[in-house]
Amino acid sequence: MIPVTKPFLPPKEEVFQLLEGVWERKWLTNNGPLLNEYEIRLKEKLKLNHLLVTNNGTIALQIAIKALGLSGEVITTPFSYVATTSSLVWENCKPIFVDIDKNTFNIDPEKIESAITPKTSAILATHCFGNPCDIDAIKLIADKHDLKIIYDASHCFGTQYKGKSVLEFGDISTLSMHATKLIHCVEGGAVVTKDPDLLKKMAYMRNFGHDGPESFAGVGINGKNSEFHAAAGLAVLKYSDTILESRKNQKEYYDKALVNLDVQTQLDTKDSSPNYSYYPAVFSNEERALGAVKQLNLNEIYPRRYFHPLLSSLNYVDVKNQLPIANKIAKSILCLPMYYGLSKVEQDFISRILLRSKNYGV
Ligand SMILES: *Cc1c(COP(=O)(O)O)cnc(C)c1O
């Protein structure tokens, strides 16, 4: 059986060794020493000044929305994981979807401006599959209309834009370190900002609003992560370069093997080096994609229709704008299996079945 993804598991002993100290200290959570170290190591690795680890990537988004005081309408992408939209609605903001670019699958900046109204407070965009948005164009629009920018950079550990971590951009960027993400700590996330005041605010928001043992600076939530997660995260982080490198090799291997397949892959954004956290393949239409799924499933290979359905089809959103490109891509896209340890032999096998599926008709 070949699933779409498998979590990376570091050597057990390395996690257990870190946990020894937890037993000695009897300090299990509440921003303990391992969590602190995890934050420091993440900042070093990603060359970032301000980062806070949270208990997942969804709470990271909610803290970001709350810290920026967003309200009213927020312009966002329909082509992302549900948490991008649900976190807006949960925080009483109204998502306004605009269409995506057909090559990068990211929000199309040209469609943003006409969706802005006096109620618009921000843009929440996802760097889809770890490939950066058109950051410069989005910044110009946001500055012109005095809007905040949040990037859902859940997929973006290791992604670079103009030689820096893509997490440096926007007022706040959020990261997910869920087990299925490229680099993980079982369950976890982070908020990143360049603004030290915003960081302070998010730090108390992450901890129930506490700014001292008996004082509260404002409203908060429990966004803290545990020593167990930090231990797992530290053990995984040690292998991040190896994981990223192997992903790049796997991406290039698929590119070569599938050169004669009738699919479109994701175009790398200019000036970026994506992390290739997924291998999306867009077929000519939905029937063709489902035909390929059928052939793969017969061989116990399970790609995923990611992202499908489109977020604009959720039963708690309104849709104002036409989204023809997102609709077409969501119906005809498959993410192919890609995870640390997937072998070339397996990639060959998957590729052969895909190439043969061209001839089966549907
Ligand atoms: C995974 C993911 C999230 C949610 O992160 P969790 O850590 O699972 O809460 C949000 N947005 C996107 C785009 C994701 O892929």
- What are the pLDDT digits (tens) for 124-163? 999 999 999 999 999 999 999 999 999 999 999 999 999 9
Residue 178 beta carbon below 6 angstroms from any ligand 1 atom = yes
Same fold, 2-237 and 240-356: no
Query: Where in the chain are the domains?
Result: 2-237, 240-356
- What string of DSSP letters covers 23-36? HHHT--SSS-HHHH
Of the pLDDT bands very low, low, confident and very high (cuts 50, 70, 90), residue 347 is: very high
Q: What is the pLDDT of residue 359?
A: 75
pLDDT category at 360 given cuts 50, 70, 90 is: low
Ligand 1 neighbour 175 (Cβ under 6 A): no
Q: pLDDT at position 358, please?
A: 82
User: pLDDT averaged over the chain?
Assistant: 97
Q: Specify the CATH architecture of the domain 240-356.
A: Alpha-Beta Complex (3.90)
Residue 353, classified by CB atoms within 10 Å of its CB into exposed (0-12), middle (13-18) or buried (19+), is middle
Confidence (pTM): 0.97
Q: Which atom of ligand 1 is nearest to the CA of 189?
A: 7
pLDDT in tens, 14-26: 999 999 999 999 9
Over 70: is that where the pLDDT of 361 sits?
no
Q: Is 84 in the pocket of ligand 1 (CB under 6 A)?
A: yes
> How many CA atoms, within 13 angstroms, populate the side-chain half-sphere of residue 277?
29
- pLDDT on residue 333: 98
pLDDT, tens digit, for every residue of 218-274? 999 999 999 999 999 999 999 999 999 999 999 999 999 999 999 999 999 999 999
Name the residue at shortest CA distance from atom 7 of ligand 1. Answer: 57
Query: What is 2-237's CATH topology?
Result: Aspartate Aminotransferase; domain 2 (3.40.640)
